[in-house]
Amino acid sequence: MGANDLATVTLHRRAAPSAEPVRWSVEAVQALLDLPFDELLFQAQTVHRAHWPARDIELATLLSVKTGGCPENCGYCPQSAEFDTGVQAQKLMSVEEVTRAAQAAKDAGATRFCMGAAWRAPKDRDIEKVAELIGAVKGLGLQSCATLGMLEAHQAQALRAAGLDYYNHNLDTAPEYYGDIVDTRSYQDRLDTLAHVRAAGISVCCGGIVGMGEAPVHRAGLIAQIANLDPYPESVPINSLVRVPGTPLADAPPIDPLDFVRVIAVARITMPTARVRLSAGRQQLGEAVQALCFLAGANSIFYGDKLLVTGNPDVEADRALLHKLGYATRAVQVQAGEHP
């Protein structure tokens, strides 16, 4: 691999804002995934530095505002009612509870607060209640994000009117592998919701999961799908499967951590201006692999002791890691008393 390949990447990058969107073939993405590791990271870091300030890591805190009892059967998910995972179903949280959690997240240095609900699709009266939660989060000066399942067009518009900044809806894997993971909805259902979110003027957060027993070509297929959304998402969470006992994927073969880094790098190269979030699974990755993910272009993490129902590195560990790496995020500044 040499200068010519790097030039190709530069060309793709320049083409992105034009009327004609860049289309990524699965083969082109696969070719990136297959690059020698040093070349891949060099290309990813080159793209990253051309579009983002160095060492700028966004901190997004998650809260499960409605937990468990979900009628879908996503094979990775501890919140499906079909699987015996020990998760206790809980009703939608009150505005007071959510406000307390959002304030704590802000105090710890988070800038985005993401509310997750284990719904297949919210009812209109659920949207009204979530609108209040969004108002509370926005009132604290935080960016708001929600992930509530499938949306109809009018529901996306209502969320936007309530002030929602981002909607998370993941494509999770390649279309060809999707039916192996969930069969209570289709890939097209996911694409339809993403289109409603985009049309309503909400920024799109859309990513996937690796380590679900998929073939490398499915990872390429996932990235191609996300990168070919027009425009591509503002946020791209890349999750490493958290293997939860009781789910069908509890015994999925773990992904090689270096292959996970590759997926992050390829997300960065194909979606230069997206926030690429190093998402679920950080507890299993260790500090060195996380550092490689940042080098590969990840510039966002979920920050807080919990994801939705499973664990995440605690905030002290994350502050220590970011400090060790010399990353001046707001969390480190808050700890040093430099931020109100």
Active site residues: 70, 74, 77, 114, 145, 205, 277
80 binds, among ligand SF4, ligand SAM, ligand DTB, none (CB under 5 to 8 A by kind): ligand SF4
CB of 249: closest distance to ligand SF4 in angstroms? 12
Nearer to ligand SAM, 55 or 120 (CB): 120
DSSP string, 262-282: HHHHHHHHHSTTSEEEE-TTH
* Distance from chain centroid for Cα 73: 20
Nearer to ligand SAM, 17 or 311 (CB): 311
Instruction: Pick the binder of ligand DTB from 239, 290, 329, 335 (CB under 6 A).
Output: 239
Report the interface residues with ligand SAM, using CB under 6 A.
76-77, 79, 116, 118-119, 147, 149, 169-170, 172, 209, 239, 241-242, 244, 280, 308
Contacting range for ligand SF4; rule: CB under 6 A; set: 16-24, 73-81, 99-107, 332-340: 73-81
Contacting range for ligand DTB; rule: CB under 6 A; set: 36-44, 219-227, 268-276, 306-314: 306-314
Query: Which residues partner with 235 through β-bridges?
Result: 205, 275
Give the list of residues 6+ apart from residue 329 with CB closer than 8 angstroms, or none: 56, 57, 59, 109, 322
Contacting range for ligand SF4; rule: CB under 6 A; set: 39-47, 74-82, 261-269, 312-320: 74-82
Q: Is 203 in the site for ligand DTB (CB under 6 A)?
A: no
CB of 9: closest distance to ligand DTB in angstroms? 25
Q: Is 115 in the site for ligand SF4 (CB under 6 A)?
A: no
- Report which residue type is found at 284: Q
CB of 172: closest distance to ligand SF4 in angstroms? 8
Q: Is 149 in the site for ligand SF4 (CB under 6 A)?
A: yes
Best CA proximity match to 182, nearest among 71, 78, 75: 75
Q: Is 118 in the site for ligand SF4 (CB under 6 A)?
A: yes
In terms of C-beta density within 10 A (0-12 exposed, 13-18 middle, 19 or more buried), how is residue 78 classed?
A: buried
Q: Is 77 in the site for ligand SF4 (CB under 6 A)?
A: yes
Give the list of residues 6+ apart from residue 274 with CB closer than 8 angstroms, or none: 232, 233, 234, 235, 236, 267
CB of 120: closest distance to ligand SF4 in angstroms? 6
CA distances from 42 to 38, 107, 116, 224 (A): 6, 36, 35, 20
Q: Is 116 in the site for ligand DTB (CB under 6 A)?
A: yes
Nearer to ligand SF4, 70 or 241 (CB): 70
Which backbone phi and psi does 54 adopt, to 5 degrees? -70, 150
CB of 86: closest distance to ligand SF4 in angstroms? 15
Residues 145, 60 contacting (CB under 8 angstroms)? yes
Measured between alpha carbons, how far is 236 from 264 in angstroms, rounded to an integer? 10
Residues 138, 144 contacting (CB under 8 angstroms)? yes
Q: Is 182 in the site for ligand DTB (CB under 6 A)?
A: no
Q: Count other C-beta atoms under 10 Å from residue 201's C-beta.
A: 11
Instruction: Kindly report the length of the chain.
Output: 340
Q: Is 70 in the site for ligand SF4 (CB under 6 A)?
A: yes
CB of 81: closest distance to ligand SF4 in angstroms? 8
Alpha helices (runs of H) in the chain, residue ranges in sequence order = 3-15, 26-33, 37-51, 95-108, 124-139, 153-161, 175-181, 187-199, 216-227, 257-270, 282-295, 315-325, 330-335
Residues in the site for ligand DTB, rule: CB under 6 A? 62, 78, 116, 147, 168, 170, 207, 237, 239, 242, 279-280, 307-310
Residues in the site for ligand SF4, rule: CB under 6 A? 70, 72, 74, 77, 79-80, 118, 120, 149
